[in-house]
Amino acid sequence: VVWGQTIFTAIFKKAFEDQFTFLELFSLSLAGWILPSSLLSVLLFIGVFLFGEIAAIVIFAIATGVFISTLFVWKLNRVSLLTGLILILSFAFFLTLKLAFLRNIILPSYFDSAEHYRIIKYFVGYYELPSNDLPLSNYYHVGFHLLSASISYFFDLEIVDTILVFGQAMLAILPFSLFFIVKRETGSNAAAAFTGLLAGLGWHMPSHLMNWGKYPALF
């Protein structure tokens, strides 16, 4: 997420220069991180499918180089650093609340949890034993599944742990992405921040949802 957000922020900062405030750019990047991150997961999948794990090493090396180079696009001052720290701590608070509910959950409590698990395991299988056959199984929400498969495989995590925690991380990020829309519409940081607070703690779906219902669909 941090990788995708950094890439997205650097692109928009360079394209629109000073048209957005730091808060607006930070919020927008928390909605847009999925674009470069999904592209990375697709490249990893195709690379390993065609050339084996050496492709993953090359792609990760390039991604790391791109990440480091984009950091130079950021020109942060003391105020933006302090604001960023507050936002990160707020995210950590939201995420901690959500993770506390996962303590006794085996799978997300929805009827198709096993099906999502099967699809992710299906993609992980292509990382482990690449074949000459393209994956033609029926599936949907491919962005969530490919990202989850990449995270599970490359960081050696259990698929169940990945989908439970990753899903809640997405729900914790979602309220921050609403800041941009409200701020541009009203011109008020207070109104935008209050909207994020409502989304993080008040809305039933982003706040308390422990089932799929459907956080893969958020992607």
Q: How confident is the model over 12-43, as pLDDT tens digits?
A: 888 887 788 878 888 888 888 888 998 999 99
Q: Is 73:10 a contact under the CB 8 Å cutoff? A: yes
Nearest Cα to Cα of residue 80 among 29, 21, 27, 33: 21
* Whole-number pLDDT of residue 30: 83
pLDDT less than 70: residues of the chain:
73-80, 109-111, 130-141, 202-219
pLDDT value, residue 179: 86
Q: What is the pLDDT of residue 158?
A: 92
pTM, two decimals, is 0.79
Distance CA 74, CA 49 (A): 35
**What does the pLDDT read at residue 63?**
94
Length reported for the chain: 219
Helices (H) then strands (E): counts for the chain: 10, 0
- The position carrying tokens 């989850």 is 148
**What is the rounded distance in angstroms from the CA atom of residue 143 to the CA atom of residue 166?**
13
Q: Which residues contact 34 (CB under 8 A, 6 or more apart)?
A: 4, 143, 219
Question: What's the CA gap between 168 and 216, in Å, rounded?
Answer: 11
Classify each residue of 129-143 as buried b or exposed e, where b means 16 or more C-beta atoms within 10 Å of its C-beta.
ebeeeeeeeebebbb
